[in-house]
Amino acid sequence: MTQFLKFSLFVFYLGLQSCSENPSEVKNKMSTWTKVESGISCALYDIDFADEQNGWVVGDSSKILHSTDGGESWRQQVCPLEDILLAVDFVDNLNGWICGMNYILGTSNSGENWKEKYSEDLEEGYFRDIQFVNENTGFVVGGRGTFGSTGVLLKTEDGGLTWNQAYSNKLPTLTHISIVDEQNIWVSGFGGTILSTTDLGLTWKKLTLAISPPPSLTTIQFVDESNGWVGSRDDWLGFYRTTDGGDTWIQRSEEALSIFGVQSFYFLDELHGWLSTFPGRGYTIAKSINGGQNWEFEPDMGISRINSFYFLSNEIGWAVGLDGVILIHSRS
């Protein structure tokens, strides 16, 4: 099976055409997002900023984009191999990493030169997310085997030169990593799987959301040791929050979220967050100021899907999606 077909299975969705929210009410709102020119038309999957000026975006067709002016303009960097690039993470302005479907790339000079650090044939699976705690220690997750049926959780302690399995028991596909600090790291996965570690990945605690059927969790984020959220690509299973470090989870899904599912989200603190739904409506971006209990949708910008957010403050943020879309959150 080709890489294109493999990834098509991952991004397959069913767009629904109805929603209880009145579109005329939404259109009267002022958008807080502005499109900028990316110079490309392929899908973009992840964005990361090291500070207010320096950011990177990755996507289809080995695309790597770099901005040095807060996202106002972007230039392409050279990728040393052909792959779909799914996640990027920088720990400072110089040191960053990218995971493709079967490769991990690294740079120590802001992406002026990217080098292959690691590769593995994951058969019909692929890497899905990469996050580093510091210049040396990082994690990558994904799936291996038929349709990525076996979860992959690898750890490096030498800046990505070598990677070792960090979890010995069998897991379903793992999808996303959230690093709060060295004491609090979380991972989400299919089958309602959530992993956490408080000792930099030496030991892991596994829990499963008690929901039937178990949701395919695609995004997880904690802002401190207590407050976290997980989102599911399964429309009716939605979005959950914990305020006690993962011991209990409460569903936070308004009707619109239950209908259209959660594609990606980003919380700045325990109250302020942004979220995108799967396609099926024009109004794909929503904001919450109460921890995800309620959401207010942005006006229609003609965007089919947002894949990733990154925020530095309530005023400074970015988002990327299909068709080369890059958005900047307006400064007030």
Residue 309 CA to residue 172 CA, distance in Å, equals 25
Residue 129 CA to residue 217 CA, distance in Å, equals 13
Closest-CA residue to 137 (of 168, 105, 161)? 161
**Mean pLDDT within 128-153:** 95
- Mean pLDDT, the chain, integer: 86
Collapsed DSSP state (helix, strand, coil) of residue 260: helix
24-329: CATH homologous superfamily? YVTN repeat-like/Quinoprotein amine dehydrogenase (2.130.10.10)
Residue 45 CA to residue 309 CA, distance in Å, equals 10
E strand or H helix that includes residue 4: helix 3-11
Collapsed DSSP state (helix, strand, coil) of residue 144: strand
pLDDT at 69 over 60: yes
| Higher local confidence (pLDDT), 327 or 253 | 327
So what's the pLDDT on residue 331? 58
So what's the pLDDT on residue 5? 38
| Higher local confidence (pLDDT), 233 or 266 | 266
- pLDDT category at 310 given cuts 50, 70, 90 is very high
* Domain layout of the chain by residue ranges: 24-329
**Mean pLDDT within 130-159:** 95
**Mean pLDDT within 121-150:** 94
| Higher local confidence (pLDDT), 234 or 144 | 144
Q: What percent of the chain has pLDDT over 90?
A: 68
So what's the pLDDT on residue 31? 67
The answer to pTM > 0.75 is yes
So what's the pLDDT on residue 257? 61
- Longest CA–CA span in the chain (Å) reads 54
Residue 20 CA to residue 260 CA, distance in Å, equals 11
So what's the pLDDT on residue 279? 60
- pLDDT category at 294 given cuts 50, 70, 90 is confident
**62-71, 96-105, 253-262: least confident range:** 253-262
Residue 276 CA to residue 285 CA, distance in Å, equals 5
**Mean pLDDT within 66-84:** 97
Instruction: Please state whether beta strands 239-242 and 96-100 pair in parallel, antiparallel, or not at all (unpaired).
Output: unpaired
E strand or H helix that includes residue 117: strand 115-119
For 21-36, what is each residue's pLDDT tens digit? 333 333 335 568 999 9
So what's the pLDDT on residue 226? 96
Side-chain half-sphere exposure of 203, counting CA atoms within 13 A: 3
**Mean pLDDT within 82-102:** 97
Residue 139 CA to residue 154 CA, distance in Å, equals 6
